[in-house]
Amino acid sequence: MTVAMDTAGERWRATPFDQDEGDTLHEECGVFGTVGMGEAAPLVALGLHALQHRGQEAGGIVVHDPERGFNSARRFGYVRDTFTSEDVMATLPGPVGIGHVRYSTTGSKGATAIRDVQPFFGEFAMGGAAVAHNGNITNAESLRRDLIARGSIFQSSSDSECIIHLMARSMATTIPERMKDALRRVEGAFSIVAMTRTKLIGVRDPLGVRPLVLGRSGDGHALASETCALDIIGAEFLREVEPGEMVVANLDGTVTTHRPFEAQRPRFCIFEHVYFSRPDSTLGGRSVYETREAIGVELAREAPVDADLVCPVPDSGTPAAIGYARASGIPYGMGIVRNQYVGRTFIEPTEQIRNMGVRLKLNVNRALIRGKRVILVDDSVVRGTTSRKIKEMILDAGAAEVHFRIASPPTAWPCFYGVDTPQREKLLAATMSEEEMRAHLGVDSLRFITLDGLYRAVGEAGGRNAAAPQYCDACFSGEYPVEPADMVSRGFRLKAAE
């Protein structure tokens, strides 16, 4: 998460949510690293390319070479446009490297924000180290105030930089031990890929909120946010890094594991199954694609409706729509087509083009839609602005009826663990009932999968254990497994306080 200091310099706050992209939840980061697999930088660039869906604004790579030491590159834009040239790769030699992609819709943008692009690097008495972090430190403000008061000088506005400063203040004699000391003071969610001159280090927070996996190729090893990033470099998936575990892979091919934290009941982010992870990845031994199909099947059981066509809102609604169609017996069709060549960097030179909005990215297949009762399947509803525009496009194309089916429960609470979400009052489900949302969107019906139904679809046959939830589902339930200390100190009201 990126934060900005107010003019008095006394308090840190999240900057306003980006209204242009404010109707979609964004996972803010993806991390990747390799050791002992040959030249690291090209492999890291490939891994980051596979993780581009987790961060599309900027990326960074740090490597180490025995002769040339540590080198780094940070760039704005897509990996394919910034880390594929021979000139860039020539500056990044060495067999150890890590990388990070960032999707920040908060914080400053432009040239001044390059300082926030990870990985972050620090030089310690026992040598240098770089750290890339996926997640969010929920006590970063208090940590930062304390560190600054003790003389630390920050170079970025990122919460992740706190880790480097905490490591610098540790008295431990090795980088892994200093990292353990640092992370014991950190609250929130973190999946970390770090490196020294000869080691690749991966750590997950005790709850395992954000994903991290370990792979192997020959005598070398890789760490990644998702298994799809291992696939692209031809690495074998070994296992997930366990919640609360530190894995250290060395240049000589050895791997050691450590347990720096007290054991806790895991609370992996359930929305990774719904949307964030790529459908060709696996989570918890399950295919993400098959899980999303199962969500659609469960949604069809919970919320049937008479209709002529099941249509996904591409691309995130596609597997769930296929599952819904299969379970309901209603034909599936691509009633909406995505323009794959329009992204967030599309130049919008005129007000007329800006007002086209969703039509720049999505177009209705009129021949398929005309005269039909259409079920639109999407992954979530955040502010509802995109859903309303899609509904209008479907009706303009001649649909007889429009029914929304949503493959997640109502998103009524913001995430503080590494997902960019609006303030709570801007979340449609925070201020409206399901029927009020239906009327607001102007559709014939609107149904969300229940929280129990979502749990069943991801493999929990008995549904959600209300006394001890198996996943982090705070964005749906308002039950935060780690109190967002900084936000509470700034006035955020937890569910229990309402």
Closest to 364 (Cα-Cα) out of 406, 324, 313, 317: 313
Per-residue model confidence (pLDDT) at position 13 = 28
Q: φ, ψ for residue 473 (rounded to 5)?
A: -130, 30
Model pLDDT for residues 232-265, shown as the tens digit of each residue: 999 999 999 999 999 999 999 999 999 999 999 9
Q: Which residue has the higher pLDDT, 439 or 352?
A: 439
Of 40-54, 75-89, 206-220, where does mean pLDDT reach its minimum?
75-89
Q: Which residue has the higher pLDDT, 421 or 141?
A: 141
Mean pLDDT on 333-354: 63
Mean pLDDT on 19-32: 69
Helix (H, G, I), strand (E, B), or coil: what is residue 312? strand
Of 107-116, 158-167, 271-280, 387-396, where does mean pLDDT reach its minimum?
107-116
Model pLDDT for residues 87-122, shown as the tens digit of each residue: 999 999 999 999 999 975 444 444 447 899 999 999
Task: Tell whether the model's pLDDT for residue 419 goes beyond 90.
Answer: no
What sign does the dihedral 205-414-33-288 (CA atoms) show? positive
pLDDT tier at 17, thresholds 50, 70, 90: very low
CA atoms of 327 and 343, how far apart (whole Å): 33
Per-residue model confidence (pLDDT) at position 15 = 33
CA atoms of 203 and 180, how far apart (whole Å): 9
pLDDT tier at 497, thresholds 50, 70, 90: low
CA atoms of 43 and 174, how far apart (whole Å): 27
Catalytic residue among 29, 228, 472, 475: 29
Q: What average pLDDT does the structure give for the chain?
A: 90
Per-residue model confidence (pLDDT) at position 291 = 98
Task: Tell whether the model's pLDDT for residue 54 goes beyond 90.
Answer: yes
Model pLDDT for residues 259-314, shown as the tens digit of each residue: 999 999 999 999 999 999 999 999 999 999 999 999 999 999 999 999 999 999 99
Task: Tell whether the model's pLDDT for residue 22 goes beyond 80.
Answer: no
Residue 269 is among the residues annotated as catalytic for this protein: no
Q: How are beta strands 336-338 and 401-406 bridged, if at all? A: unpaired
E strand or H helix at 132, and its extent?
strand 127-137
Per-residue model confidence (pLDDT) at position 360 = 75
Per-residue model confidence (pLDDT) at position 61 = 98
Per-residue model confidence (pLDDT) at position 347 = 41
Where do the domains of the chain lie, and which CATH numbers do they carry?
3-267 (3.60.20.10), 289-464 (3.40.50.2020)
Residue 117 corresponds to which tokens in the numbers above?
């692009």
Task: Tell whether the model's pLDDT for residue 5 goes beyond 70.
Answer: no
Of 30-44, 61-75, 483-497, where does mean pLDDT reach its minimum?
483-497
pLDDT tier at 26, thresholds 50, 70, 90: low
Per-residue model confidence (pLDDT) at position 10 = 28
Per-position b or e across 80-98, b if 16+ CB within 10 A of its CB: eebbeeeeebeebbbbbbb
Model pLDDT for residues 445-477, shown as the tens digit of each residue: 999 999 999 999 999 999 999 999 999 999 999
Per-residue model confidence (pLDDT) at position 343 = 52
**Is the separation of the CB atoms in 94 and 1 below 8 Å?**
no
pLDDT tier at 331, thresholds 50, 70, 90: very high
Residue 432 corresponds to which tokens in the numbers above?
């409206």
Task: Tell whether the model's pLDDT for residue 223 goes beyond 80.
Answer: yes
Q: How are beta strands 96-102 and 58-65 bridged, if at all? A: antiparallel
Per-residue model confidence (pLDDT) at position 333 = 97
Q: Which residue has the higher pLDDT, 123 or 27?
A: 123
pLDDT tier at 27, thresholds 50, 70, 90: low
